[in-house]
Structure 1
Amino acid sequence: MHEQPILCVRNLNKQFGGGCQDCRETSTRKLERNYCSTCGTVYACQDISLELFPGEILGIVGESGSGKSTMMQCLYFDEPVTSGDAYIHDVELEGQNVFNLSSQKKRYIRNHKYGMVYQNPVKGLKMNFSTIGNIAEKQIAAGNRNVTTMERTGSELLENVHIPLFRAKEEPRNFSGGMQQRVQIAKALSNNPPILFLDEVTTGLDLSVQANVLDLIKRIQRESGISMIVVSHDLAVIRMLADRTIVMLNGAIIEQGLTDQIMEDPQHAYTQRLVYSLL
């Protein structure tokens, strides 16, 4: 790929705790997995660098506790980073480390440049709002005030994610898990963001429902050309969706490459175990 990445992350670090003499220095850090047993600091993300290209689906795979969801929360500004840089290739934001921007600017990015679909729909939806109201909320946050336009966009998006329009006024708490995820996807797409984050979106869903959600994600990507980062502990999900894959373990990237390449010739022992468990 010769084009410029739409998102470039450099040396993202996120720790929970202040650190001590045993763990503060990266080169001499003594950790059990990513935890310092002396002071209890957790190094959730250690020096994460990645690039996301236009129209690409980048998969992040790793077991529970590997840091992949924390990384996602940092990128979406749900969690402050300990250190690191992130740049969005965009006229208004060119050359600005988005982690250092004001909370107002970060809100602007969340409302216009990013979409987020959480593992738990409760985080992404207001369960006592109507479904179409949830989608409108995201549009209002981005400054849209035209009710007719919002209703039309909301209806189109619900049709797009296969939610029957006669249920548009219903609250998402009445919906199944798979339907709630589809409403979240519609909401995340309501401002045509160039970048979509999907965090463990099929976890806890029945296999047939999982397949529907994955098909939907593939179709949206194909039709809109949106760039996506997809986080999962399930390599089968990543294999179906991702062009390139990053493997994380204990807060660090241990392997990355084209998804096919990682599936066919995994280098790291942990990746090999992941791949062979699929076969």
Structure 2
Amino acid sequence: MKDEQPLLAVRNLNQQFGPGCNNCKNPDNRALSKNYCEVCGTVYACRNISLDLFAGEILGVVGESGSGKSSLMKCLYFDSEVTTGEVYLDDEEFIGDNLFELSSQKKRYIRNYKYGMVYQNPVHGLKMNFSSIGNIAEKLIAAGNRHVGNMEEIGKRLLDIVQIPVFRMKEEPRNFSGGMQQRVQIAKALSNNPPVLFLDEVTTGLDLSVQADVLDLIKRIQREFGISMIVVSHDLAVIRMLADRTIVMLNGEIVEQGLTDQILEDPTDKYTQQLVYSLL
């Protein structure tokens, strides 16, 4: 895999909230409390993050609350601005382009055609007063589809894939259980066949049996569609089931990365060891 061209390459991504000061600006000599400067109040949400996502793989991102994993996801999906950094997509339309520096119009195009996103809270990814198939149609319309029959056909097929009964396609997601709402989100995210799918804590708050169903669905989508995914979770059990490779984050930094089996069986970083032992 090291000789392959990554589908998505992130280099030296930094995100900070606040101006910084002499106490915290120097990356080699920062006096921080975790990722927070007690002098000027600056928060360093992501610090010098570099990672690769290869075609057809699932990359896990694990860490405790406040570790920066969701901030990383928001940056990659353009929900939040980066302070500095680069991200490259192996796509003929964007060869050599740092996606963070593109216009808002081009970023919107990437979100509509190249990326899919499944949020921890379905309220952020769905319009709860639209029908389920209407939510899928919204994404298709944003990508330029105007053929009603075609959109309905795509919507029915995707709802069937995520095991939402087609007879419920015109129901609003607010009437669904949490697990079903996540399935509608996944269907919407897949609507334009994106090569990259982001999943942010998609099983948090779900019953264990529902979690298992959602995780099985994600693995099936990976096998059948070959989509590359970045999966964020604080739960190593989720990462163990899904991820081919894993990065471990703490206080905005990557403290360890490698094959998931290697991370779980022989962690080298003290924090990762604590995570793994807490799972046992």
1:159 corresponds in structure 2 to 160
Deviations 1:114-140, CA, capped at 9 Å, x for gaps? 000000000000000010000000000
1:16 is matched with: 17
The 3-state SS of whatever aligns with 2:180 is: helix
Determine if the alignment matches structure 1 residue 137 to structure 2 residue 142: no
The residue number in structure 1 matching 2:36 is: 35
- TM-score, scaled to structure 1: 0.99
The amino acid of 1:157's aligned partner reads L
Aligned to 1:109: 110
What's the counterpart of residue 48 of structure 2? Answer: 47
Distance in 2 (alpha carbons) for counterparts of 1:202 and 1:40: 32
* CA distance in 2: counterparts of 1:212 and 1:147, whole angstroms: 31
Provide Cα deviations, 1:1-42, integer angstroms capped at 9, x if missing partner.
122100000000000111111011111210000000001110
Secondary structure of the residue aligned to 2:158 is: helix
Q: Matched residues in 1 for 2:210 and 2:252: separation?
A: 30
Provide the aligned C-alpha RMSD in A: 0.5
Distance in structure 2 (CA, Å) of the matches to 1:16 and 1:179:
35
Q: Which residue of 2 aligns with 1:176?
A: 177
Partner secondary structure for residue 28 of structure 1: coil
Secondary structure at 2:28 match in 1: helix
SS of the aligned residue for 2:174 comes to helix
Deviations 1:35-79 (A, max 9, x none): 000011100000000000000000000000000000000000000
Q: For structure 1, which segment, 2-11 or 183-192, has the greater mean C-alpha deviation from structure 2 after superposition?
A: 2-11
Deviations 1:89-143, CA, capped at 9 Å, x for gaps = 0000000000000000000000000000000000000000010000000000000
1:37 partner SS: coil
Match of 1:232 in 2: 233
Q: Counterparts in 2 of 1:1-279, with a 5 A limit?
A: 1=1, 2-279=3-280
Give the letter for the 1:76 counterpart.
Y
* Structure 2 SS opposite 1:12: strand
Question: Number of matched residues?
Answer: 279
CA distance in 2, matches of 1:3, 1:252: 25
**TM-score with structure 2 length normalisation?**
0.99
Distance 1:145 1:87 in 2: 30
Query: What letter is aligned with 1:45?
Result: C
Q: Deviations over 1:175-214 (max 9, x none)?
A: 0000000000000000000000000000000000000000
Deviations 1:202-251 (A, max 9, x none): 00000000000000000000000000000000000000000000000000
Write the distance in 2 (CA, Å) between the matches of 1:208 and 1:28: 47
Q: Structure 2 regions of 5+ residues with no counterpart?
A: none
Q: Which ranges of 4 or more aligned residues in structure 1 deviate by more than 2 Å?
A: none
Percentage identity across aligned positions? 77
